[in-house]
Structure 1
Amino acid sequence: MDILFSRTLELLVYPPASSLVFIMLGAIFLLTKKTSLAILTTSFAVVTLYFASIPFTTEVMSDMLERTPPVTPELIAEKRPQAIVVLGGGRYWNAPEYGGNDVSGDGGLERVRYAAYLYRNTKLPIALIGGDGLKTGTSEAALMQHTLEQEYIVPVRWTDGRSQHTFDNARYAHEVLTGSGIERILLVTHARHMPRAQKAFEDTGLIVIPAPTAYSTPGPTQSGLRAWLPNARTLTQNNAGLHELLGMVWYRIFH
């Protein structure tokens, strides 16, 4: 599936767009005097938008997705990984303060920052895997390489910019790494993305030591009664969690 089409489809399926669709349906039903259907669709829209926007939902999805504990020095010493593999996490488009060039986005920065931390503690070589699905001319792997080498002063051994999704990430990483005799890896990605990513990589035959980062830990404004108050930032976070849940279903069906 074309990545631009799939991203557009996600926008329509996830709140708030899907909620607006049901609100419009409710208005149509009301105009055609189908009052019961109008109440049903509008109520569904309001309820889904509300639960998609509250930190409580984030906690529920985190319990489902973020079950992999952080990697420890003891585990690294026991499992003896041979390389650190970092998956692309998005880009900041046309950044004006960087001369209008694309640079690593929030998700990518969280991952490369943790990779730099792991490198300083292990000195393992780093592989960056992330493509250019929208054909901008620069892969996410190249953007992450620039960040690691120029900003964190951390060397990068391998990059691969061909992938468009997690399944590709695993396939191309396996191709690159096994050619260099690498079988055991520290896999760096978001905690919510780790179940899907780990499964994809293990299916290629690589031995994966998960090294998740960016857990959805609630802050003071997202705890207690505040966990039930909707906000725009949480809506974005919950959409990312929903993306992972649906992605796991998609992976099971098609891969």
Structure 2
Amino acid sequence: MFFPLSKLIFFVLTPSNFLILLGLLGCLLLFTEFGRGIGRVLTVAGFLGLLVAGLSPLPAWILAPLENRFPAFTEDERPVAGIVVLGGAVEADTSIGRDQITVNEAGEREIALADLARRYPQARLVFSGGSGSMRDDAVSEAEIVSRFADTLGVPRNRLILEQQSRNTRENALFSARMVQPKPDERWLLVTSAWHMPRSVGCFRKAGFDVTAYPVDYRTNWPRDAYRLNSFASTGLGELDIGVKEWIGMIAYRFAGYTDEVMPAP
């Protein structure tokens, strides 16, 4: 129930969707006799909101606290027993249709998988990614990574594939069940920097102690604190990600999936 409900809530509360729906409702009310006043307000609010959200530095202010929560990984002498890379970057349907691996803006996750596999040849490699689709016949991200492992330069026989997870909580639970990590082992967790706090919280809740390896930064803080976006689509996309992640962290805490809203290093 949580999974489909979260999809519906995120669709409505995603800022770009919400502001468009707000403006559309306002436009519709302009054609009614009783609602013209509120219609003008909603129309202006919707389209002004799109302007501010798309071109102002607001998205960077929303994303930066998430991205800066966990520092970039620093190499030291401690051995790495394993690496867990979370899905969310592979476009499974397009990859199948075009017969080549296709990634979205979070493609640094796959780059990190290939790089870390080379740097730590003895480490166990886990790719955790099912399908976020509601369709029963959807292909998992893990399946795509397996099919195109040669393209990534990752030996297929090293990959431990977790294909059932649909969200971050399930990434953590199913990965922990598969690899049964020992308390003294060091495992790196690879995901987008803005997604790292919620991910670490879920893995801790699952009893899986991980070291953050953040990638896929969307902000260059503090430079972006006062920088206007050149394209409204860029700002809206970043704001959508940031707001959805904050909502996700709060929802996960209330659902008991994590012990903290904003886990710390």
TM score, norm. by length of structure 1: 0.83
TM-superposed CA distance for 1:181, in Å, is 8.5
Higher mean alpha-carbon deviation, 166-175 vs 198-207, is at: 198-207
Instruction: Check conservation: 2:108, 2:216, Cα contact below 8 A.
Output: yes
- Rounded to whole Å, the distance in 1 between the matches of 2:109 and 2:228 is 26
1:138 maps to 139
Instruction: Check conservation: 1:93, 1:102, Cα contact below 8 A.
Output: no
2:188 maps to 186
2:7 maps to 7
1:17 maps to 17
1:241 maps to 242
Higher mean alpha-carbon deviation, 208-217 vs 34-43, is at: 34-43
In structure 2, stretches of 5+ residues that fail to align are 257-265
Alpha-carbon spacing, 1:157–1:223, altered in 2? closer, same or farther (3 Å): closer
1:166 maps to 168
Amino acid at match of 1:206: F
Instruction: Check conservation: 1:52, 1:238, Cα contact below 8 A.
Output: yes
1:57 maps to 58
1:110 maps to 108
TM score, norm. by length of structure 2: 0.80
- Rounded to whole Å, the distance in 2 between the matches of 1:136 and 1:161 is 13
Higher mean alpha-carbon deviation, 27-36 vs 231-240, is at: 27-36
Deviations 1:47-73 (A, max 9, x none): 332233136123102222112121011
Percent identity over paired residues = 25
- Rounded to whole Å, the distance in 1 between the matches of 2:147 and 2:254 is 36
Instruction: Check conservation: 1:194, 1:212, Cα contact below 8 A.
Output: yes
- Rounded to whole Å, the distance in 2 between the matches of 1:178 and 1:10 is 33
SS state at 1:38 partner: helix
Amino acid at match of 2:254: I
1:83-122 map, 5 Å: 83-95=82-94, 99-101=97-99, 103-107=101-105, 109-122=107-120
2:80 maps to 81
TM-superposed CA distance for 1:213, in Å, is 0.2
TM-superposed CA distance for 1:250, in Å, is 1.0
TM-superposed CA distance for 1:90, in Å, is 3.9
- Rounded to whole Å, the distance in 2 between the matches of 1:210 and 1:141 is 21
- Rounded to whole Å, the distance in 1 between the matches of 2:168 and 2:178 is 15
SS state at 2:71 partner: coil
In structure 1, stretches of 5+ residues that fail to align are none
Amino acid at match of 1:248: M
1:32 maps to 33
Alpha-carbon spacing, 1:52–1:146, altered in 2? closer, same or farther (3 Å): farther
Q: CA RMSD in A?
A: 2.9
Task: List, as ranges, runs of 4+ consecutive aligned residues in structure 1 with deviation greater than 6 Å.
Answer: 179-182
Amino acid at match of 2:42: T
Higher strand share: 1
Count residues with an aligned counterpart.
248
Among residues 202, 205, 210, which one is paired with 2:204 in the alignment? 202
- Rounded to whole Å, the distance in 2 between the matches of 1:22 and 1:111 is 35
Amino acid at match of 2:24: M
Alpha-carbon spacing, 1:176–1:210, altered in 2? closer, same or farther (3 Å): same
Alpha-carbon spacing, 1:2–1:136, altered in 2? closer, same or farther (3 Å): farther
Amino acid at match of 1:112: E
